């Protein structure tokens, strides 16, 4: 269950109820929350040097006021490795002066959040964590829902646990230092929430002239609430509801694989959403106007709607798609839009229905 109170979003899970706090000063918000809920635990801030350089004075203030230690992890997807995990949990053990008396504060994008979340979820079978997502994608997606993971050579996110945060702090000021590509990637995920669940969110984006005009606190708050509502009704992906979050991701993931991740996740998802909507139009599930509205919105934010792949990339695309776990006996499960704000699971999509 999810409810709003005093401008916060509360997520009730089987484990605990935690707040998602929209803050204009993350350091102050964390200090207040920490003192009230987690003190006298020893706090360990996990971040990377890119974020630290940009937000040093705030992080230093936070660290000195709650006496937190700071642990740095590398800045790249490679940080989600067994090696970095090993170093991180050993740092936790080093600072763990009193038994079970640690708490983690993860300040960073999805990489820091997933890694620190996995460390917090497994160290002593689980210690508290405050998630402070600093990218748009992390604010509206990865920090909410309790999914944590690291990568193996064999594939991404293969080792992980569900570990719900004690608190998620969303501070829009982080977006001011983000690179435009990162902002656009997050926006693509936000458009996804509009298509699957919220005509109002979609219209909010249709009404602005460009990215500068977006009312970020409302946009981020609405996206975070949608993610929280979906995951709190299907915490461990047992009921299929969480599956709707995969809209645009089936084809998107195959594009990422086919292009060796040269096409980034958000961009691939934007193209994947268009391809899925085209399939829905061809099947008569949704009207052409839905596709036109999606194309217009992506175009406004300079997000692509198509991709040209060479023959070898196409081969890899199909191979990746066929290997996807949603593919069985020549048929595939897709999330297709019915209209803006509503989607349907269709499980008999065949290869010839997918045009790339």
Ligand X SMILES: NC(=O)c1ccc[n+]([C@@H]2O[C@H](COP(=O)([O-])OP(=O)(O)OC[C@H]3O[C@@H](n4cnc5c(N)ncnc54)[C@H](O)[C@@H]3O)[C@@H](O)[C@H]2O)c1
Residues that bind ligand X (CB under 6 A): 48, 50-51, 54, 75, 77, 80, 108-112, 114, 134-135, 137-138, 141-142, 145, 147, 157, 174, 177-178, 182
Smaller CB separation from ligand X, 168 or 346: 168
At residue 333, what are phi and psi to the nearest 5 degrees? Answer: -90, 125
| DSSP label of 338 | E
Q: What is the dihedral of CA 137, 140, 144, 145, to 10 degrees?
A: -90
Inter-axis angle of helices 180-197 and 288-300, to 10 degrees? 160
- Shortest Cβ distance from residue 110 to ligand X (Å)? 2
- Give the side-chain half-sphere CA count within 13 A for 159: 14
Smaller CB separation from ligand X, 137 or 273: 137
Give the active site residue among 227, 275, 293, 333: 227
Q: What is the phi-psi region of residue 72: left when phi exceeds 0, alpha when psi lies from -120 to 50, beta otherwise?
A: beta
Going from the C-alpha of 171 to that of each of 25, 28, 216, 312, the distances in angstroms are 7, 11, 10, 43
- Shortest Cβ distance from residue 207 to ligand X (Å)? 26
Question: For residue 130, how far is the Cα from the chain centroid?
Answer: 16
| DSSP label of 45 | E
Smaller CB separation from ligand X, 261 or 302: 261
Smaller CB separation from ligand X, 134 or 290: 134
Smaller CB separation from ligand X, 110 or 221: 110
Annotated active-site residue 125? The verdict is yes
- Shortest Cβ distance from residue 345 to ligand X (Å)? 20
Angle subtended at Cα 234 by Cα 232 and Cα 238, rounded to the nearest 5 degrees = 155
Give the active site residue among 48, 151, 182, 246: 246
Beta strands of the chain (E only): which ranges?
A: 2-5, 8-12, 17-23, 42-47, 69-72, 102-108, 129-133, 147-152, 155-162, 167-171, 327-328, 331-339, 342-349
Give the active site residue among 80, 242, 293, 333: 242
Annotated active-site residue 265? The verdict is yes
Bridge partners, residue 70, by sequence? 45
Smaller CB separation from ligand X, 134 or 305: 134
- Please give the Cα distance from 217 to 105 (Å, whole number): 22
- Shortest Cβ distance from residue 43 to ligand X (Å)? 20
| Residue 280 token pair | 């829905």
- Shortest Cβ distance from residue 37 to ligand X (Å)? 23
Bridge partners, residue 108, by sequence? 133
Q: What is the DSSP annotation of 188-244?
A: HHHHHHHHHH-HHHHHHHHHSSSGGG--HHHHHHHHHHHHHHHHHHSTTS-SSGGGG
- Shortest Cβ distance from residue 231 to ligand X (Å)? 8
Give the active site residue among 192, 253, 275, 293: 253
Annotated active-site residue 94? The verdict is no
Give the active site residue among 197, 265, 275, 333: 265
Annotated active-site residue 189? The verdict is yes
Annotated active-site residue 147? The verdict is yes
Give the active site residue among 189, 222, 235, 256: 189
Smaller CB separation from ligand X, 110 or 121: 110
Give the active site residue among 58, 249, 293, 333: 249
- Shortest Cβ distance from residue 100 to ligand X (Å)? 24
Which positions are catalytic?
125, 147, 189, 227, 237, 242, 246, 249, 253, 265
């Amino acid at each position: 269950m999810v409810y709003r109170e005093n401008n916060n979003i509360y997520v009730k899970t089987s484990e605990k109820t935690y707040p998602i706090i929209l803050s204009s000063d993350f350091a102050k918000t964390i200090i207040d929350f920490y003192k009230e809920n987690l003190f006298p635990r020893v706090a360990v801030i996990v971040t990377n040097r890119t974020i630290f350089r940009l937000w040093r004075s705030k992080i230093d203030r936070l660290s000195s006021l709650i006496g937190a230690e700071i642990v740095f992890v590398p800045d790249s997807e490679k940080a989600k490795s067994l090696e970095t995990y090993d170093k991180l949990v050993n740092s936790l053990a080093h600072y763990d002066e009193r038994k079970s008396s640690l708490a983690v504060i993860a300040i960073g994008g999805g990489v820091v959040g997933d890694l620190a979340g996995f460390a917090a979820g497994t160290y002593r079978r689980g210690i508290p964590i405050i998630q402070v997502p600093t990218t748009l994608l992390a604010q509206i997606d990865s920090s909410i829902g309790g999914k944590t993971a690291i990568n193996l050579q064999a594939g991404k996110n293969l080792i992980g646990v569900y570990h719900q945060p004690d608190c998620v702090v969303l501070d829009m000021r982080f977006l001011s230092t983000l690179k435009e590509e990162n902002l656009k990637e997050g926006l693509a995920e936000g458009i996804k929430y509009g298509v699957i669940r919220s005509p109002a969110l979609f219209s909010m984006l249709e009404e602005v002239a460009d990215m500068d005009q977006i009312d970020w606190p409302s946009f981020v708050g609405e996206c975070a609430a949608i993610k929280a509502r979906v995951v709190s009704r299907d915490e461990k992906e047992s009921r299929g509801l969480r599956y709707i979050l995969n809209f645009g991701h089936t084809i998107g993931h195959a594009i990422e694989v086919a292009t060796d991740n040269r096409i980034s996740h958000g961009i691939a998802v934007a193209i994947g959403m268009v391809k899925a909507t085209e399939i829905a139009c061809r099947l008569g599930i949704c009207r052409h106007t839905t596709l036109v509205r999606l194309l217009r919105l992506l175009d406004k934010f300079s997000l692509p709607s198509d991709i040209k792949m060479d023959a070898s990339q196409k081969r890899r695309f199909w191979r990746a798609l066929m290997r996807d776990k949603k593919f069985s006996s020549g048929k595939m499960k897709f999330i297709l839009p019915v209209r803006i704000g509503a989607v349907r699971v269709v499980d008999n999509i065949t290869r010839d229905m997918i045009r790339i």
